[in-house]
Amino acid sequence: MSTTSNPAASPDQRSAAPALSCKVSASPHDPLPSPAGKKPAPPCTLVIFGAGGDLTQRLLMPALYNLAVDGLLDDSMKIIGVNHGERETREWTDELHASLQQFAADKASTFHAGKLDDNAWSWVAQRLEYMAGEFELDDTFAKLKQKLDQSKGGNAIFYLAVGPRFFKPITERLGKAGLLKEGDGANGGFRRLVIEKPFGADLASARDLNAHILSYAQESQVYRIDHFLGKDTVQSILAVRFANAFFEPLWRREYIDCVQITAAETIGVEGRGKFYEQTGAFRDMVPNHLFQLLGVVAMEPPNSFDAEAVRNKKADLFNAIQPLAPHDVVFGQYEKGPAGVGYREEPNVAPGSKTETYAAARVFIENWRWAGVPFYLRTGKRLAARHTEISVQLKAVPFLLFRDTQADALTPNVLTISIDPAHGTSFDFNVKTPGPVMEVGPVRSSFDYGDFFAERANVGYETLLYDCMLGDATLFQRSDSIETCWCAVDDVLHPKRGGALPLHGYAAGSDGPAEADALLARDGHAWRPLQRKAPGGKS
Ligand code: BG6
């Protein structure tokens, strides 16, 4: 995660009141400038295991294409796609092109100009090579070694865009074939391994996977991805906290009543029934995505944005998470409702499935800053609305000055950081309503990224890929933090007494099970409604 202020701005511009107040957007024909201060990544060969998979088509290729448009890839870059099944490079390239065109048409905002730039695509296409190979056969790795030996510089990134069962066999074979051995020349000759989530299914399996990987690669070579950290809006939380004077003094137990972290989805399991049956909402989202959000919201300020400085502070925070108690966790499963069929009727789901599609948790952080402040986390499929957001609710004012007016029940101040699909922040506070009587009413002040900045093409993997090529591990998970996060949830995954957690039904299209409301009601709190109106009446 490279950090720059705006070096081009004059001191006057830098200190001026916000000058960017109109909506700005790039014209479809203007070449987008390279992001300020960014240089192309060093030359490397990117080897993608799982060349035919969904992740490659939907996220990696679009991100590489966007990086190419921004001029952030080296001219000598090569992309080798490995998959089982013989096919020509031409066929693979055509398939990727067709899916990119489709995405560009469907999701204009994630691509430059909403349509593919033929030059940029042909730049990428010329660098693609398909290699047929089984992930568990030594022969595949011997073939790959030959190809890499011919490539310039020897830098290589091995991206495991495959199911978790292949993480170990691929790493082992890469290691045994000598493909993870780094060069010692001036130009590096780096070898990096990118591992997708899920990284283990509990503490024991994550430890085992870490140990296996680290017997073939150094920690510094391993880039464990959590794609939530690739989102600009998540990275911006650090900017909001540490580039402004007015949040940080309040960012502590003395002023904050509670924090809510929500990743609510309207989609169901989308044909992933088989995967979901083994994983469930809790493993899929809580110790990884939601804990990462917790990390950026609650970590102490690092001394710099150096990868280790940031990761050390996050590790301290994860270490301070009080192990989740089963009675502070609620599991739910969607049933038939306004948004469609129940989970048990989805394809590849057992008719009597006990898998949770919703999870809520009350989490405490045992440190000086946060002791006693509840962090409420929730995630679920087939909910009433799609919101990934963090709401920080401040404590009530100490003295109700307006006791004799209708202002007795003041609406709490809430800072909401919207991550998806809205990108921005809003702040709820109270003002005097117009008129002769002293009445107080809530209002909302909002900021939306789109009102201030030209939309940059982004599928969420650009920064992660670029950073990996640069060797910047700030946004990637270190082995110790992965294990600490699994450790914090181990009692929920393996309750010592009483077996599995109870499962509560909720209607597809609702806000989740009533038991999740009760979890907060115990503390006198309530979830932010998923479908809501702004105080001013706008939704
Ligand atoms: C993935 C989960 O890691 O994140 C999915 O496996 C989930 O189940 C997805 O839908 C959510 O990511 P995003 O970026 O769409 O909010």
- What's the CA gap between 518 and 512, in Å, rounded? 11
The candidate with the shortest Cα–Cα distance to 195, out of 226, 233, 229, 238, is 226
Q: Which atom of ligand 1 lies closest to the CA of 197?
A: 3
- What's the CA gap between 366 and 147, in Å, rounded? 51
Per-residue pLDDT of the chain (539 residues; tens, 9 = 90+): 655 544 333 333 333 333 222 233 333 333 344 555 678 899 999 999 999 999 999 999 999 999 999 999 999 999 999 999 999 999 999 999 999 988 877 765 566 556 788 899 999 999 999 999 999 999 999 999 999 987 755 899 999 999 999 999 999 999 999 999 998 755 568 999 999 999 999 999 999 999 999 999 999 999 999 999 999 999 999 999 999 999 999 999 999 999 999 999 999 988 889 999 999 999 999 999 999 999 999 999 999 999 999 999 999 999 999 999 999 999 999 999 999 999 999 999 999 999 999 999 999 999 999 999 999 999 999 999 999 999 999 998 877 776 665 445 788 999 999 999 999 999 999 998 899 888 888 999 999 998 998 877 788 899 999 999 999 999 999 999 999 999 999 999 998 766 789 999 999 999 999 999 999 999 999 999 998 665 544 44
Any ligand 1 atom below 6 A from CB of 420: yes
- Sequence-separated (6 or more) residues with CB below 8 Å from residue 18: 452
Any ligand 1 atom below 6 A from CB of 277: no
Domains and CATH numbers, the chain: 19-226 (3.40.50.720), 231-457+478-521 (3.30.360.10)
The two three-digit tokens of residue 166, written as one number: 């292949």
The candidate with the shortest Cα–Cα distance to 197, out of 79, 279, 310, is 279
Cα 273 to averaged position of ligand 1 atoms, centre (Å): 14
- Residues flagged as binding site for substrate: 227, 231, 265, 284, 381
* Contact (CB, 8 A) for 496 and 326: no
The candidate with the shortest Cα–Cα distance to 280, out of 177, 95, 272, is 272
- Residues flagged as binding site for NADP(+): 134-135, 197
Only one residue has tokens 């960014």, namely 38
3-state helix, strand, coil in the chain (%, to 5): 35, 20, 45
* Region of 391 on the Ramachandran plot (φ > 0 left; ψ -120 to 50 alpha; else beta): beta
Q: Which atom of ligand 1 lies closest to the CA of 269?
A: 8
Any ligand 1 atom below 6 A from CB of 388: yes
- What's the CA gap between 406 and 369, in Å, rounded? 34
Cα 445 to averaged position of ligand 1 atoms, centre (Å): 29
* Contact (CB, 8 A) for 48 and 60: yes
- What's the CA gap between 76 and 43, in Å, rounded? 6
Residue nearest to atom 10 of ligand 1 (CA): 265
User: What Cα–Cα distance (Å) separates residue 507 from each residue in 344, 354, 383, 453?
Assistant: 12, 16, 8, 39
Active site residue 387: no
DSSP notation for 398-456: SS-TTTTTTTSSPPPPEEEEEEESS-EEEEEEEEEPSSSS--EEEEEEEEEHHHHSPPP
- Name the active-site residue from 97, 289, 423, 504: 289
* Contact (CB, 8 A) for 234 and 419: yes
Which mutation among 261, 284, 419 tests ligand 1's pocket best, with the greatest number of atoms within 8 A of CB?
Answer: 284
pTM of the model: 0.91
Neighbours of 299 (CB within 10 A): 23
User: What Cα–Cα distance (Å) separates residue 519 from each residue in 47, 289, 354, 375, 462?
Assistant: 46, 21, 21, 12, 38
* Contact (CB, 8 A) for 189 and 78: no
Residue nearest to atom 4 of ligand 1 (CA): 285
Residue nearest to atom 13 of ligand 1 (CA): 228
The candidate with the shortest Cα–Cα distance to 194, out of 50, 307, 87, is 50
Q: Which atom of ligand 1 lies closest to the CA of 281?
A: 8
Residue nearest to atom 9 of ligand 1 (CA): 285
> What's the angle, vertex CA 453, arms to CA 451 and CA 455, rounded to 5?
100
